[in-house]
A and B are shown apart, each in its own frame.
Chain A
Amino acid sequence: DIQMTQSPSSLSASVGDRVTITCRASQGLNNALAWYQQKPGKAPKLLIHATSILESGVPSRFSGSASGTEFTLTIASLQPEDFATYYCQQYHGGPTFGQGTKLEIK
């Protein structure tokens, strides 16, 4: 199975900050990497697929990138509605998720 190591596990930031979350894969993914946002008591919401393609309706302050087996989610200017938990997921092999990053208000 492909392992996904996500960091940090938690992150405190303020509205307007730029934040980055990273996932490292145990092997190459051929860009098959997605990011989800989950709010308390809700199902995850697909934000980005294929490393950097935003889902319809996702604000442009979200972006994704990759360097080798390291994948990054960047939120350019945090908005109040962005405080949530974020998960990466690889879909190159049988799907596996990162451990999650809880983004909290500072």
Chain B
Amino acid sequence: QVELQESGPGLVKPSETLSLTCSVSGASLTNYYWSWIRQPPGRGLEFIGHIYYSGGASYNSSLKSRVIISVDTSNNRFSIELTSVTAADTAVYFCARLRAGTTLFEYWGQGTLVTVSS
């Protein structure tokens, strides 16, 4: 059973960097794409980006200048950094595994709420 678990600070100050990690159990990162999606409170889903296990990343054009997704195969986890955050970045952040050969989000973490506030 593939399980994903997000972790990281629940509160980030404006202009600082949001950093989250997704730990994966029940499967290796190998041969899959891994993704971050976010959902502002009471609103819809927004794709942030994804990364292949070997390191090639692709990002939503609206966030590309501020986001980096990285992978740590030794520890079977991947991470996101979002710089220069504002209140608009307040959201539940989900990590997910993409189905092989697609950008379908097949397995999801439970999500973690990150609030941007001073």
Contacts and interface: CB of A to CB of B under 8 A. Distances in A.
A42 B106 contact: no
Given A91-B103, A91-B104, A94-B58, A43 B110 contact: yes
A99 B39 CA distance: 11
A42 B110 contact: yes
Interface in A85-103: 87, 89, 91, 94-100
Contacts of B99: 49
B83 to A, nearest CB: 21
A34 interface: yes
B105 A87 contact: no
A96 B110 CA distance: 20
Interface of B is mostly: loop
Nearest to B108: A43
12 contacts: A44-B45, A44-B108, A45-B108, A46-B104, A49-B99, A94-B47, A95-B47, A96-B47, A97-B44, A97-B46, A98-B44, A99-B44
Range for the number of chain B residues in contact with chain A: 10 to 19
A87 to B, nearest CB: 6
Given A1-B61, A99-B44, 12 more contacts: A42-B110, A43-B109, A43-B110, A44-B108, A46-B105, A89-B45, A91-B102, A91-B103, A94-B58, A95-B47, A98-B44, A100-B45
Interface of B: 44-47, 58, 60-61, 94, 96, 99, 102-106, 108-111
Interface residues of A, number: 20
B111 A43 contact: yes
Given A43-B94, A94-B58, A94-B60, A87 B44 contact: yes
Contacts of B108: 43-45
B5 to A, nearest CB: 11
A8 B104 CA distance: 23
Contacts of B47: 94-97
